[in-house]
Amino acid sequence: MRRRTTATLLATALVALPAPIAAADDGGPGKVVLPGVPERLSPQQKCTTFPGRATSDAPWSRNALALDQVWTLSQGRGVKVAVVGTGVSDAPAVLAGRVRALGGADEDCVGRGTFQAGLIAGAASPGQGFAGVAPLATILAVRGTGTRGESDPARLAAGVREAAEAGARVIAVTAPMDGTDRTVRAALSAAARADALVVVPAAADSVPPGSGKPPVAPAPPQDALAVLDTGPQGTRPDSAPPFTRADLTAPGDALVGPGPVGNGKWTGSGSSLAAAVTAGAAALVRSYHPELTAPQVRARLLRTAYPGDLPALDPYGAVAGAGAGSAPAAAAGAVTAARPGPVRLASPPDTSGARNTSLLVAAGSVGVVLLVAFLAVVLPRGRARGWRPGRLGADGPGPA
């Protein structure tokens, strides 16, 4: 009986011990594998017609950017954001009725421009985890590449000028721009006169196949906001295309967005996608602070960013942060890379306090187990003696 009582009390005490923390699921059966959105198409490839795949899961970037929190303040209403790239289709439900196109930019043979537009202003809907950063902003589609995504620097610069003249307050560009090019400088001057913030990728999205050593992207225009892509861990892969200068980092790896047809989702990576995410954040700021100029919005995004080797975008801080463009852009600190390399976040936070707390809890739990075991032995003996003290060295109960 005594052994049974002891075992029962020990089992009860062990139930009170802290349960192990479950590991996050990194994949497995039932997970939807999304297709990769193309960057460009070869002459032999047909236009993208696959509708993507359905998923209601929220992408990692939604939590990383605290979008649900910032949407309580701003959703980009009233701000027109231009996407200068492969064109934008309004066929996906998340963009339906909210895209205006210049020229033939309402057709997106590749799908990348539509994906970028979705990252910026894709509508939020119940039961769906995906939404753009600024779901109430509108999109201006401007051609900046060939119809199959072919690189065209002159067309890209012309697209920036056209977007500014058409009233875009934020302009997202699909490829790096050379700040030393005279045509690019003229386009940025036109954007400055129109008070439009230009957001450009600081690096190429990928290395062209068969190109050998990837070329370093040119230094972007000083007036533009140059953005690098990072993944869920806050870093770039060592194989990521190199850059010359960057101002900011933003989510750009394994993002989720719409394709040019249907309502399925695609995935994509690259600095141009990080630039689109940042353009959405700029729309949030311009909607909530309409009094700010484009240079002030740029400075605010940099000043409120998370510190690190390169600052990391913080949409909530940019919208709700104290001040209104009081620091000049130069003070915010554009960063020049001494050599191409991965972006690293600041050191991980100190978790020693949490670790010490866990050790104290574990020690306390062990103490409880030992106390219960002790009482399980002592109580039956005390009850048998009628709670009278035993003789020193006696093995069993007896009178004093």
pLDDT of the residue at 31: 76
pLDDT of the residue at 51: 95
pLDDT of the residue at 213: 76
Q: What is the largest CA-CA distance in the chain?
A: 107
pLDDT in tens, 278-331: 999 999 999 999 999 999 999 999 999 999 999 999 999 999 985 333 333 333
- Look-up of token digits 């209104």: 324
CA–CA dist 236, 373 (Å, integer)? 54
Taking the CA atoms of the chain, what radius of gyration do you get in angstroms?
29
- The CATH fold assigned to 60-336 is Rossmann fold (3.40.50)
pLDDT of the residue at 207: 83
Q: How many C-beta atoms lie closer than 10 Å to residue 387's C-beta?
A: 9
HEC readout, 304-373? CCECCCCCECCHHHHHHCCCCCCCCHHHHCCEECCCCCCCCCCCCCCCHHHHHHHHHHHHHHHHHHHHHH
Selection from 111, 66, 55 nearest residue 86 by Cα: 111
Question: Low-confidence residues of the chain, pLDDT below 50?
Answer: 1-28, 323-363, 365-366, 368-369, 371-372, 374-375, 378-379, 385, 387-400
pLDDT of the residue at 109: 98
In the chain, what are the domain boundaries?
60-336, 351-400
pLDDT of the residue at 9: 35
CA–CA dist 131, 266 (Å, integer)? 13
pLDDT of the residue at 215: 84
Task: Provide the percentage of residues in the chain whose pLDDT is more than 90.
Answer: 68
DSSP annotation of 134 reads S
SS3 3: helix
